[in-house]
Structure 1
Amino acid sequence: MRLMEDTRESALREEFRAFFAEHCAPEYADECDARGRFPEELYRAAGQAGLLGACLPAEHGGRGEDATALAILFSEAGRAFPDFANLIVRQHLCATVLERFGSPEQRAELLPRFARGGIHMAFGASERGAGSDVTALATTARRDGGEYVVDGEKLYATGAHVADAVLVFAREPGTSGREGICALVVWSGNPGMRAERLDTLGVRATGTAMVTLTAARVPADARVGGDGEGWRVLRSGLDMERLATAAIATGASRFLLDRTIGYLNERRQFGRPLSGLQAVRHRLADLAMRTDAAELATMAVAHGLATGAPVHLDASVAKLAATETYMAVAHQAVQLEGGHGYTKDSVVQRHYRDAKMYEIGGGASDVQRDIIARGLGL
């Protein structure tokens, strides 16, 4: 059971796949991962192709793509380089926040730069005590005349160590829960902000960072959204983030599935191809079934978002199904390649390391199950 795409969707998939085939060879992704090197060349090329701000309307220099097109983009990025795909998602999240809640001056200044890849902004929400429960934010933003004074620490901010700015979520002193949250654009040159790269298992090319803010003075006009809008700003991209994560995972799963089938057809043991062994064939059949189901769930959410339908519960279903499928496919890809799959010479080990992040980032699997349970009335 495979996804049936219309002419526009097929053309978009061909365009995006051709872009990554030209600019992101497997050897390039492997080298960036092995060295922990930010894929600057790919980032510039994606910006020039309009992929980093594809969600933005044409008036701001974007492509005006809907959620279906974005899901296809994220899927193809996941197929080529899921680490980099995660960075594209962060750019779209920040751009969407600014497009929806930014002041006219912020939109005029920043959105055209997003559209052409002229700005790299990290998303700073998570903290040590505020991961799944983001309402537990401890970072504060105290108003002092025409500025905010920001103090706190952010964790797991993708690419923050090489970003031009961080969209920092903080709270006004004396507030709690959903009240008093605000979003501020803090530029990397701010003397009160420091980003330190974390040493992670996977997603080692774009990387993630801890951002420390110590009496960082930020102009009041750097605030995104008005009084009382902080929680809406923070939640505004939640469904799209889960859709994007699901799409990346399905694209990566499809790549690994195709690659593993090719390998098993060529690899001979006991006088015949490994693909001729029933135990192996059944494992691949199960993985193909799960991948198809995850892809269908993902694109159903995309079509729902594109038409304005409520998708909050479905986005959790797609995110959970797709990311756990990616982890399962990556696990079997390593297992079925045997000793070679465990070496750094094989691409499957990179996916195995990256896949785990997708079960955690964007809302951990346990959180998604709880959302689904609530949707069942439990």
Structure 2
Amino acid sequence: MPADRMPPTPEAADLLALTRDIARGELADRAAEDEAAEKFPRDVFALLGETGFLGLPYPERFGGGDQPFEVYLQVLEELSSAWMTVGVGLSVHTMACYPLAAFGTEEQRERWLPELISGRLLGGYALSEAHAGSDAAALSTRATREEDAYLVNGTKTWITHGGVADFYTLMARTSDDGARGISCLLVDGTTSGLAAAPPERKMGLTGSPTTELRFVDARVPTDRLIGAEGDGLKIALSALDSGRLGIAACAVGLAQAALDLAVEYAKQRTQFGKPIIEFQGLEFLLADMATAVHTARTAYLDGARRRDAGRSFGFQASVAKLAATDAAMKVTTDAVQVLGGAGYTRDFPAERFMREAKVLQIFEGTNQIQRMLIGRHLAKS
């Protein structure tokens, strides 16, 4: 465990030790092969469900782990250091459960939350559209109320777990009242009229299916409305704050894996009669990589601790997401450089780390959006 990552309790230390055992024993050795085969590791999520990982930050009375968000994020980091598809998948699932947990009625939570976080089901989060990515208020997928159900029509894009998720948290337009016309629905993955397109052909995270979701008169019961009609954008943005901390933790895990690989290679590779880690030019590069990882980890832990304390953390979430994902892109690129020609081959995971890092700067709000949000916070302060 990195020296700067200190579990807050003995229970948390045990949980992270278990996570490390799973990451090293079950994930790391098969990641490259499954990613190359574009194989979704559903069995891994079943394993995580059996061990309680799919409900870590949610209340114990609903079957969750009742863990602080700080601990949950460290679990994400550990899993991501072994296999990004798994870390990102857990982050997306947790975000898909959040609207029900935070905005659902007590009756809705008692009815559905235990099933969602028990480990048997996997979730997806359906917000983005082709013309409503960064501008979420512009979404056009429509949910028209007819007696005891909504008929949903439209297309969602860039949906992680599209076609394999058991449920989706969907943001759809229920009126033409701009940002106040969006509502949140909990949609069963087997709903008639809901279909997933073939997975996108991506440069990285190829083990994680990303698809369009197409709704054609998909019938969603009205009791699956989360919050009031018109609360959808507020719910979506709240979920994204927590999701950004999740992606920051995933990014730090990936960057740590790249740093560890680079250091180990630099210790073993010799040139001019000594290990290349002893050359100052490389030593400084590795030091900068380590500093970036440490700084990014500090940022996401700061946001998590504020969240756990019930304080505002949106600014910190944007800072953490920006810092951690930019750091992951830089550190993975530098890891390829440390390995030289070997880093450019698939014999080592450095090139996969670099490809996987890029998307982290894009989803849960691009890093340009994060800079905009940070700037707006500064203007208001």
The TM-score with structure 2 as length reference comes to: 0.94
User: 1:280 offset after TM fit, Å?
Assistant: 1.0
Paired residue for 1:352? 354
Give the C-alpha shift of residue 226 in structure 1: 1.9
Is this contact kept in 2: 1:142–1:148, CA < 8 A? Answer: yes
In the alignment, which residue of structure 1 is the partner of 2:278?
276
Q: Is the 8 A contact 1:23 1:45 kept in 2?
A: no
Paired letter, 2:260:
D
Aligned residues: 376
Cα drift, residue 294 of structure 1: 1.0
Match of 1:162 in 2: 164
Unaligned runs of 5+ in 1: none
CA distance in 2 between counterparts of 1:184 and 1:126 reads 14
Letter of the structure 2 residue corresponding to residue 225 of structure 1? G
Larger mean CA deviation between 86-95 and 337-346 belongs to 337-346
Report the AA paired with residue 12 of structure 1: L
Corresponding residue for residue 126 of structure 2: 124
Q: 1:217 Cα deviation (Å)?
A: 2.0
Cα separation, 1, equivalents of 2:123 and 2:9: 34
Does the 8 A contact of 2:96 with 2:168 survive in 1? no
Shift in Å, 1:21: 2.2
Whether 1:22 aligns to 2:25 is yes
Q: Is 2:85 aligned against 1:76? A: no
Residue 11 of structure 1: aligned partner: 14
Number of the residue aligned with 1:191: 192
How high is the sequence identity, in percent, across the aligned residues?
32
Question: What's the secondary structure of 2:192's corresponding residue?
Answer: coil
Question: Which structure 2 residues correspond to residues 13-52 of structure 1 after superposition, within 5 A?
Answer: 13-24=16-27, 26-52=28-54
Q: String of CA shifts for 1:97-117, please: whole Å, max 9, x gaps.
A: 111223445323332223321
Following the alignment from structure 2 to structure 1, what is the Cα–Cα distance between the partners of residues 5 and 67? 20
- Does the aligned pair in 1 maintain the 2:136–2:233 contact within 8 Å? no
CA offsets 1:222-245 (integer angstroms, 9 cap, x no match): 222223322222122222111111
Give the partner amino acid of 1:110: W
Query: In the aligned structure 1, how far is the partner of 2:133 from the partner of 2:4?
Result: 35
SS in 1 for 2:54: coil
CA displacement, residues 265-305 of structure 1 (integer Å, 9 cap, x when unaligned): 10112322111222111111111111111111111111111
Q: What is the aligned partner in structure 1 of residue 206 from structure 2?
A: 204
Structure 2: tracts of 5 or more residues without a match? none
The whole-number CA distance in structure 2 between the counterparts of 1:278 and 1:128 is 48
AA partner of residue 185 (structure 1) = L
Tell me the distance in 1 between the aligned counterparts of 2:206 and 2:151: 32
Shift of 1:28: 1.1
Distance across 2 between alignment mates of 1:304 and 1:132:
25
Question: Is the contact made by 2:270 and 2:276 (CA closer than 8 Å) also made in structure 1?
Answer: yes
1:287 is aligned, of 275, 286, 289, to 289
User: C-alpha separation between the residues in 2 aligned to 1:3 and 1:49?
Assistant: 22
Which residue number in structure 2 is paired with residue 228 of structure 1? 230
Is the CA contact (8 Å cut-off) linking 1:68 and 1:299 kept in structure 2?
A: yes
Structure 1 position 5, deviation (Å) = 4.4
From 320, 323, 335, the counterpart of 1:321? 323
* Contact map agreement 1:55 1:96 (CA 8 A) in 2: no
Q: Distance in 2 between matches of 1:217 and 1:113?
A: 21
- The reply to whether residue 175 of structure 1 matches residue 177 of structure 2 is yes
Q: For 1:332 and 1:350, locate their aligned partners in 2 and report how far apart those are by CA, in whole Å.
A: 13
Q: Name the CA shift for 1:217/1:167 in 2 (closer, same or farther; >3 Å).
A: same
Q: What is the identity, as a one-letter code, of the residue corresponding to 1:190?
A: T
Distance in structure 2 (CA, Å) of the matches to 1:295 and 1:257: 13
1:23 deviates by 2.2
RMSD: 1.7
Query: Partners of 1:99 and 1:125 in 2: how far apart?
Result: 18
Deviation at 1:59, TM superposition (A): 0.9
Structure 1 SS opposite 2:379: coil
Counterpart Cα distance in 1 of 2:71 and 2:288: 28
Whether 2:246 is the aligned partner of 1:238: answer no
- Does the 8 A contact of 1:121 with 1:160 survive in 2? no
Amino acid at match of 2:240: L
Cα distance in 2, alignment partners of residues 236 and 364 from structure 1: 16
Contact 1:56 1:95 in 2 (8 A): no
Distance 2:180 2:31 in 1: 42
How many Å apart are 1:191 and its aligned residue?
Answer: 3.0
Letter in 2 for 1:19: I
Pairwise mapping of residues 124-163 of structure 1 onto structure 2 (< 5 A)? Answer: 124-163=126-165
Q: Distance in 2 between matches of 1:217 and 1:62?
A: 29
Instruction: String of CA shifts for 1:316-370, please: whole Å, max 9, x gaps.
Output: 1111111111111110111221222222222112211110011111111111111
- Partner Cα separation in structure 1 for residue 287 and residue 242 of structure 2: 30
User: Aligned to 2:67, what secondary structure does the other structure show?
Assistant: coil
